Amino acid sequence: MPDIIVPTVTPFTPEGKVDLEKLKEHVTHLVRKGVDVIFLNGTTGMGPALSPEEKLAVLKSVYDVTNRVIFQVGGLNLYDVVKLARESKDFDIVGVASYPPYYFPRMREDWVLRYFRDLCAASPHPVYLYNYPLATGFDVSPALAKEIGCLKGVKDTTQDLAHPLSLKRVLPDLKVYTGADTLVLPSMASGLDGVVSALGNYAPELLLRVRNLVNDGKLREAVEVQQVIAELIDLSRKYGSLAANYVLVRELQGHDVGVPRPPVYPVVDEARLRSELEPLKRRVESLK
């Protein structure tokens, strides 16, 4: 069965501090709902806006709840990245992950290769590549991922299913996860290893539902669930998904996960988001 992995939001206080208690509550809730693995410090978790110390604090508190964790450690200073990976040695977790170094223009492929090999050499856990070209400006090709040679898996966030499928074709022994919520059903139906879904923060039931329907061969019903997923994603993007995620958790799961950290600002017109969510909420309820 494909894994359901949730890249958790990181709750912040209005003063901009990481709210570790709220994070723990949120993760406890997700684990109870049946989520398989928690992905920390990802995009949804505002990883690039967290200091190395904050990233480690996030791991420490979530580890009180579960060890089914992938710990994202990526950054623009390899020394920090390597140190953080080493600091995870006392935690018996699923793995560490990293996006390739971003921002720097015209990154050479051999630099990206060395970055991941250095991370693999330092990491006490299996290493996963987080490929998100829209965010990093760098697409790690299947050939490059193969040449890196030490990866356990890849989380691939593109809107094109051909992308993770070609990774799986070139690297059949690696775990290949899809990071795009728009591709939950096609990823599961085509035998990929699972999904890393931001929507899982606020509607994990829909991911479980798709998985069950695919398992039972009920693809038409699964398409209906995927359409609801797509509408939720459209709505979240309209209000800025990185901020809307916080509102959607409260509205659909009923607990508070605080606010994002600027420069991701809280949703301004929350009342309008809530009213647009209302009809969708009923559809989500009927599918739970």
Asked if residue 196 belongs to a known ligand binding site, the reply is yes
User: Tokens in use for 98?
Assistant: 């990293």
Return the structure tokens found at 160: 């094109």
Query: Catalytic: 155?
Result: yes
Give the span between the Cα atoms of 27 and 249, in whole angstroms.
Answer: 12
Taking the least distance from each CB to ligand ELE, the nearer of 50 and 285 is 50
Q: Which is nearer to ligand ELE, 44 or 98 (CB)?
A: 44
Burial of 83 (0-12, 13-18, 19+ CB in 10 A): middle
Residues in the chain: 288
Catalytically annotated residue among 22, 55, 152, 155 = 155
Q: Which amino acid is at 128?
A: Y
> What is the distance between the alpha carbons of residues 66 and 92, in angstroms, rounded to a whole number?
10
Question: Cα–Cα distances in Å, from 106 out to 102, 119, 282?
Answer: 10, 21, 47
Catalytic annotation present for 168: no
Taking the C-alpha atoms of residue 39 and residue 288, their distance in angstroms, rounded to an integer, is 23
Whose Cβ is closer to ligand ELE: residue 42's or residue 101's?
42
Residues 6+ apart with CB under 8 A from 37: 3, 4, 5, 6, 68, 69, 70, 94
Smallest distance from ligand ELE to CB 110, Å: 26
User: Which residues sit at the interface with ligand ELE, rule CB under 6 A?
Assistant: 7, 39, 42-44, 132, 134, 155, 157, 179-181, 196, 198, 241
CA distance 74 to 47: 8
Closest CB to ligand ELE among 221 and 240?
Answer: 240
Closest-CA residue to 139 (of 100, 103, 196, 171): 100
Do the annotations mark residue 178 as ligand-binding?
no
Q: Considering 63, 99, 115, 130, which one is annotated as catalytic?
A: 130
Closest CB 287 distance from ligand ELE, rounded Å? 20
Nearer to ligand ELE, 121 or 180 (CB): 180
Q: How far is the CB of 245 from ligand ELE (least distance, A)?
A: 9
Alpha helices, H only, 88-161: 109-122, 133-136, 142-148
* Euclidean distance between CA atoms 176 and 2, whole angstroms: 10
CB of 241: closest distance to ligand ELE in angstroms? Answer: 6
State the Cα–Cα distance between residues 107 and 120, nearest whole angstrom. 19
What is the closest distance, in whole angstroms, from the C-beta atom of residue 102 to ligand ELE in the complex? 13
Active-site positions read 130, 155
User: Can you say which residues are annotated as belonging to the binding site for pyruvate?
Assistant: 44, 196
User: Can you say which residues are annotated as belonging to the binding site?
Assistant: 44, 196
